Structure 1
């Protein structure tokens, strides 16, 4: 890495700033390795299982993290050794590979933890050319928040689409050999052409779990080189007193890249947008700094600059934060940060799992056989109708089950009732499961459930081998089912609409479409503040009922649903504005109508604040 052109010159100007947070969404990293001695790097704890420094995923995570954060004077010279590092485990050795849903979870949590740059040295091939909704939304979330995502283009050696690297807004990275020629395994394609960059990726030195070093080849090692350089460029901005701008740095890396030599024997499309040129990127960044009017710069004190650039609140000194002018200990600056009880408000399909064959067989033996057409059918614990009958007769049997909530058949959380009301929560879970297996025309039928809880910092292993985080639910309040038939009727009545039967039916239809659209178009993990606000807005259809009734009375149709950080909020609150925009489908020149209501998600169970506001938009 020291031989990368332009890197030594950049190091003379900066080795990074601790106020610039670079996250690595990857496997666990062995942060006790000598390469990290003195580094301000930590794991984001309490979300995935701590697999420890063993297995392929830990080897991958340790290697990638050391390429960025390896301390100078140690066994690995990292690209940005003085930037703050955050390792977000998204790969588990228990599964061997990750899913797009887990990558999305890692990316969103990294943003909430204050990352300005997120390195993803992994992903999946997409035959359709598109990413799953959750991953695409996570990337859009980063763009909206001004966070740069750097992702490996993949090592399949094909003209293909590898996500998240191929998604708009991501800085994709391909790998070069020692002669500056694209590695045969490095992916390319039209999706990367405008936002892809090539960087060294052959025999890259990195840390090996336990001790020692190892060399590896691939786009997974080229990506952290680019992410580290991005961290250094952001550090230059911060040192100059300007607000760090990750997206502008990403653009500088692309615009400063060397174009393909058309006389080369290798097709130019293999080089994506161009080859990493550190000196060119530095010139663009420093030129922008020099051209920025001085009176438009933010405060330049170390404290102010760090607070503007990093969500962690660190002031550049390891272990300290500035709150009200006095320093205090920050757990995130330690190598193994204490798990945080993240609130979750998840919306999905309720299910159950056995975890092992022994537990499944125990249920099969205890359950009564069923009668079908005069024939006795052996008990089937996988049949939710039979399971509801069994749990209704034997309520205590709900506790040994592993209760889950899923998105599109993929379990995302395990639900664990805790505290003095655990028995009541288990009973409610059984009732909700009964609602899911009810007839669709029944008032008791429910399509999905809403689950408020807190991350426990633990995971459980499902029968399939998948490990999912456990969320703890302490009380029944807020745990509810989307009884769409009953909910829609109640919401229409709550709106107090005097529009007549025709308009009431239109309101019912619009509310159903709203609930369906939120779930299918905007489905999420419910872990970030913005997603908890969105999920609660969908669940609390009574809040939206008046909005729809008013809009439909004026012949408007729903255009978009958005969530923005509220500029107003109570002390110690976490308030978000949910905005619903409507338009006239028959007259596009007519002004649009916007409705806004505010939700505070600081507590486990969100709450609406104030009244619904509406205004006209051009």
Structure 2
């Protein structure tokens, strides 16, 4: 391809703008070497992601630097970038010291990028998986970007097969495949069913990139095509600003899809690799500068319907490549997507021409690793274009010395999960093993096992000061998401409570004191903690015992049922007080399960903290659940939306529970709403529960 200026239409776009500093592009990748000459003077801010900065010569940092150079390289430097005038945000999510990065960590990085004000998020990495295999936390993070009008651009992958990569395959993401300078798809570029619905091809052959040590090399792959599309989107947003319009990232994403050139290869079978078309910068610029862009669905609304899956995708594509060629042979159709939307024969800038699909993918109930940036091995000049074996490269997360001295702004956290502990190093583990007393097993004294939580609880109960030497973790489905660190004058009380809850997690589930969930209120100071496994997790500082609660679904359900008014069903109707209590308990358990599993989150955003607080204590939702369940209604969904009325200097959110009558579909639904202020580290409920019928 040579220089980026050779991309058709890009030089003309540069004559209009090289970017506006008010437009932000986030690079979720390896860490970026901002000291590279190509990035000298670039406005790039680093925020805390799942990974940490590695050595400059590390493969993942080299990959992140290459991507950043394609985006922000100064035009008088060694590697001119697409949008050097835009602001950059680096969110490290991959690192060499850890072999795999989880979808959970990628979701955390996406949320961090959105919180940093990104208009466009570039992800030149992924996992070889279909959209339905995406974990719910990642699907939810992408959906929140859609609802917040943030454009996510992701590489389609370099496996050379009819296969998808997550997150590129997820609805609402603009997937990008790679083509050569003649517009032909690279043999290594994926053309999966899902990404073909909302993806396009962009140049990705021998792109000049910043290399470790200050040099320049050329690389090929979808990892380089993605930032070219991200940069073009940023320039189009800059044009919107210059014309006095509000930047509309999702609408720009639609324009890029709709103005893409149809396949012109003359072979229908070859066109199956074309996604929906090939990037046409000139048409996209004309569409932005001469035609109004409709606001994308969900871009301006505040409401988050967190249990619904029927929200249209603003980036729903055409399903099959637009092809100016002969009909596809029957044999070729066997590998083409079969659930496509009707194809569109010509580019259009009308949002109404786009087909709709669900923003949410159906999650699976297991954890899978996320590959490295999809073409991370190609960090040397590319000699051939042979398709690599379809096995994803692994990536990693690490913590290095240059994290010190770069604290991120503190964020309030109110997270739910289960407790765990970690040693960090073998030396720390062996220290506990030597200090803990031996145990008797069948009359034989054996050395202590520090991995046995029962032995650890017994030891910490006798030696409470030793609790500070452990790394306490908050886990989601056995995966650590935070390291808990007690600080301040109440630190001993915090550790005492952690030891208590850890012991209560070991009790029988029918015990009155059994704990299967804890809530952790605290602040995230921007530091990270490295666990014994090598995983790096954000640190949460806890300086109060208030809000550090432990409970079980059973105990919380009992707390709700006890004050319930007599339900409308009577003994004469075949029920009874005990039966009614059981029914209400089951309904409460269902309510809690939805929050714990369907809506599990990091507790870092305001809406998530409000949602988690609603599930923390029976006091918060007791009146709502008691009234609705007492009326014989069942919970339909949960909404969280910004409260239109709030106290000065507050952060208030309305939690709305919508109920329906399962026995009478004609009966009006009923909405219950209560408000939570999450301005402080400990959220608080405001006012009374309000209720109204809804058709």
Give the TM-score taking structure 2 as reference length: 0.79
3-state SS in 1 of match to 2:482 = strand
What CA distance in whole angstroms lies between the structure 1 residues aligned with 2:51 and 2:667? 49
Alignment partner of 1:441 out of 510, 533, 552: 510
Bigger shift: residues 437-446 or 353-362: 353-362
Q: 1:366 Cα deviation (Å)?
A: 2.1
Pairing 1:336-485 to 2, within 5 Å after superposition: 339-485=408-554
Q: Name the CA shift for 1:337/1:246 in 2 (closer, same or farther; >3 Å).
A: farther
2:168–2:195 Cα contact (<8 Å) kept: yes
Q: Match for 2:637 among 552, 555, 560?
A: 560
- Bigger drift between 575-584 and 431-440 goes to 575-584
Q: How does 1:58-207 map to 2 (within 5 A)?
A: 58-126=61-129, 129-207=132-210
Question: Structure 1 stretch 564-573 or stretch 380-389: which is displaced more?
Answer: 564-573
Q: 1:475 deviation in Å?
A: 1.5
Give 1:4's aligned residue. 7
How far residue 288 of structure 1 moved from its aligned partner, in angstroms, is 2.9
**Aligned partner of 2:604 among 519, 523, 527:** 527
The answer to whether the 8 Å contact 1:42/1:337 transfers is no
- Which residue is equivalent to 1:586? 663
Larger CA deviation: 222-231 vs 80-89? 80-89
Q: Secondary structure of 2:70's match? A: helix
Gaps of 5+ in 2: 296-404, 569-576
The CA distance in 1 between the partners of 2:285 and 2:645, in whole Å, is: 38
| SS of the residue 1:270 aligns to | coil
State the distance in 1 between where 2:10 and 2:586 align: 60
Give 1:25 deviation, angstroms. Answer: 1.1
Change (3 A) 1:288 1:364: same
Cα 1:496/1:476, change in 2 over 3 Å? farther
Q: For residue 241 of structure 1, report the CA deviation from its aligned partner.
A: 1.5
Q: State the 1:465 CA deviation.
A: 1.3
Deviation at 1:128, TM superposition (A): 7.8
Tell me, in whole angstroms, the C-alpha distance in 2 between the residues paired with 1:81 and 1:128.
33
Alpha-carbon distance between aligned partners in 2 of 1:430 and 1:422, rounded to the nearest angstrom: 12
* 2:223 aligned partner: 220
Q: What is the CA-CA distance between 1:588 and the residue it aligns to?
A: 3.3
When residues 535 and 130 of structure 1 are mapped into structure 2, their CA distance, relative to the original with a 3 A threshold, is: same
Moved more, 435-444 or 97-106: 97-106
* Contact 2:49 2:92 survives alignment (8 Å): no
2-side partners of 1:596 and 1:48: how far apart? 38
User: Using the alignment, how far apart are the partners of 2:265 and 2:51 within structure 1?
Assistant: 47
Equivalent-residue separation in structure 2 for 1:497 and 1:379 (angstroms): 53
List gaps (5 residues or longer) in structure 1: 293-335
The superposition leaves residues 19-52 of structure 1 with CA deviations (integer Å, 9 ceiling, x where unpaired) of: 2111111111112222223322211148753435
Contact 1:240-1:289 within 8 A present in 2 as well: no
Could you tell me how far 1:368 is from its partner in structure 2?
Answer: 2.5
| Range that drifts further, 34-43 or 20-29 | 34-43
**Compared with structure 1, are the counterparts of its residues 46 and 150 closer, same or farther at alpha carbon in structure 2 (3 Å cutoff)?**
closer
CA-based RMSD of the aligned residues comes to 2.1
For the residue of structure 2 that corresponds to 1:114, the secondary structure is coil
Q: Distance in 2 between matches of 1:276 and 1:127?
A: 24
Distance 1:218 1:464 in 2: 31
Stretch of structure 1 that moved more, 486-495 or 53-62 = 486-495
Aligned equivalents of 2:426 and 2:51: distance in 1? 24
**Worse-superposed segment, 434-443 or 357-366:** 357-366
Deviation at 1:592, TM superposition (A): 2.0
Go from structure 1 to structure 2 and tell me whether the alpha carbon gap of 1:232 and 1:495 turns closer, same or farther (over 3 Å shift): farther
Q: How far off its partner does 1:567 sit?
A: 1.9
How many angstroms does 1:564 deviate by? Answer: 1.6
- Quick one: structure 1 residues 424 and 552, their matched pair in 2 at CA, closer, same or farther if it must change by over 3 Å? same
User: Paired residue for 2:622?
Assistant: 545
**CA 1:2–1:598: 2 relative to 1, 3 Å:** same
2:152 & 2:501 partners in 1: Cα distance?
Answer: 39
State the aligned residue count: 575
> Counterpart of 2:43?
40
How far, CA to CA, are the matches of 1:502 and 1:291 in structure 2? 53
Structure 1 residue 274 corresponds to structure 2 residue 277: yes
Q: Which digits, 9 at most, give the CA deviation of each residue in 1:180-226, with x for residues without a partner?
A: 22122211111112101111111111223442222221111111110
Query: In 2 relative to 1, CA 266–206 (structure 1 residues): closer, same or farther, beyond 3 Å?
Result: farther
SS at match of 2:159: coil
What residue number does 1:613 align with? Answer: 690
Q: Is 1:286 paired with 2:289?
A: yes
Q: Deviations over 1:550-577 (max 9, x none)?
A: 2223332111112222222222222222
Greater displacement, 399-408 / 363-372: 363-372
Shift in Å, 1:273: 0.9
In structure 2, the partner of 1:486 is 555
2:105 pairs with 1:28: no
In structure 2, distance between residues paired with 1:127 and 1:170? 13
Shift of 1:431: 0.2
Seen in structure 2, the aligned counterparts of structure 1 residues 54 and 344 have a Cα distance that, compared at 3 Å, is farther
Supply the distance in 2 between the matched residues of 1:516 and 1:139 (Cα, whole angstroms): 22
Matched residue SS, 1:274:
coil
SS of aligned partner of 2:676: strand
Deviation at 1:479, TM superposition (A): 1.0
Deviation by residue 1:510-559 (Cα, 9 ceiling, x = unmatched): 11111111111111111222222211111133221221222223332111
